[in-house]
Amino acid sequence: MAVHLTLDNGDLADTYEAISDTQFTKGCSLVAKLAIKPGAAVLDIGCGTGRLGRHVLSLLGPAGRLVGIDPLPDRVNIAKEKNEYANAVFQAGNAEDLSPFADSSFDKVYLNSVFHWILNKDLALREISRVLKPGGTVGITTGARELNTVTGLQIITDTVLRREPYRQIVNIAECAHIQHGLTTTGLLQLLAAAGFRVDEVQIQNSVQVYQTPREVTLFQEASCFGNYLNHVPVSLRAQAKADIEAELERNRTGQGIQFGHYTIFAVATKEE
Ligand SMILES: C[S@@+](CC[C@H](N)C(=O)[O-])C[C@H]1O[C@@H](n2cnc3c(N)ncnc32)[C@H](O)[C@@H]1O
């Protein structure tokens, strides 16, 4: 099922800004791995509402420069509104077309919870390599597709979609995270093919805890910018969401509703 960049709206963008703590925490860990120094030129691809970008700006000092790009206008608008730094630019843009930026113009590029959404990943990495200075680094966090069925929300969702009335109609493999997500080795192969030296690759399991099933689906809707459950026919989507929420409720423990998620953290360098 194709990923659409036209299904977002102001409410989803506001919700994402308000409840994206999980992504923000991962992003801060990624940024720490990149060891961004004051004065660096940094490109944040898929900057969303700019929350992580604002954290990076606090590290860059006035001599540094941050450009955040995202294809969703509602998210870029929030990033612009919330920005208080003169050395930051948030603008519309797509990972597969970095033509607004000159060759060798950034020290660091990062994509936090973005890479699985990019349709032409090979092209995006070649563009990233072009705009990075020799010796510059790219940092990526993304889901580890090979572990989707070991723990997490995917298992709960698929349990529901394997039942009636979805069983014959929904192709689970068409879920955006499966279709466009990538395995750890797949990511390493893509980085190598684009000419990067992989410095670090790590898989972290984070446990996410929610108090209500609705919090889970609300976050998914906001995080998928309108693409949540887009492999389920529109006529069944509301029912599927209600059934997933009921299944989440069945998974409640004393701590709330919790499940793990495996995230790949990768850092790679453009060879000098
Ligand atoms: C889950 S959000 C992550 C936002 C932000 N990086 C963060 O850490 O909170 C995924 C973002 O990827 C962006 N995205 C999707 N496809 C993209 C593409 N081809 N190029 C750049 N960004 C893209 C979406 O617009 C969305 O804002």
pLDDT-derived band at 272, boundaries 50, 70, 90? confident
How many whole angstroms from 211 Cα to the centroid of ligand 1? 26
Tell me the domains of the chain and their CATH numbers. Answer: 10-270 (3.40.50.150)
pLDDT of 1 strictly over 70: no
How many whole angstroms from 180 Cα to the centroid of ligand 1? 13
CA 106 to chain centre: 21
> DSSP letters of 7-30?
---HHHHHHHHHH-HHHHHHHHHH
CA 151 to chain centre: 19
**How distant, in Å, are the alpha carbons of 126, 128, 190, 268 from that of 134?**
13, 11, 18, 12
Q: 7-17 pLDDT, tens per residue?
A: 999 999 999 99
Q: 71-97 pLDDT, tens per residue?
A: 999 999 999 999 999 999 999 999 999
How many whole angstroms from 247 Cα to the centroid of ligand 1? 28
Q: 94-112 pLDDT, tens per residue?
A: 999 999 999 999 999 999 9
182-191: Cβ within 8 A, 24+ apart: 182/115, 182/116, 182/121, 182/142, 182/145, 183/144, 183/145, 183/146, 184/144, 184/146, 184/264, 186/145, 187/115, 187/140, 187/142, 187/264, 187/266, 188/266, 190/121, 190/122, 190/125, 191/125, 191/266, 191/268
| Residue 129, Cβ density class (10 Å: 0-12 exposed, 13-18 middle, ≥19 buried) | buried
pLDDT of 143 strictly over 70: yes
Nearest CA to ligand 1 atom 24: 46
Q: Can you tell me which atom of ligand 1 is nearest the CA of 94?
A: 20
How many whole angstroms from 12 Cα to the centroid of ligand 1? 13
8: left (phi over 0), alpha (psi -120 to 50) or beta: beta
Nearest CA to ligand 1 atom 22: 46
Buried b (16+ CB within 10 A) or exposed e, 72-102: bebbbbbbeeebebeebebeebbbbebeebe
Distance CA 151, CA 205 (A): 9
Q: Ligand 1 site: residues with CB under 6 angstroms?
A: 20, 23, 27, 45-48, 51-52, 70-72, 75, 94-96, 112-114, 117-118, 223, 225
Quote the pLDDT of residue 178.
82
Quote the pLDDT of residue 106.
98
Q: 165-208 pLDDT, tens per residue?
A: 999 999 998 988 888 889 999 999 999 999 999 999 999 999 99
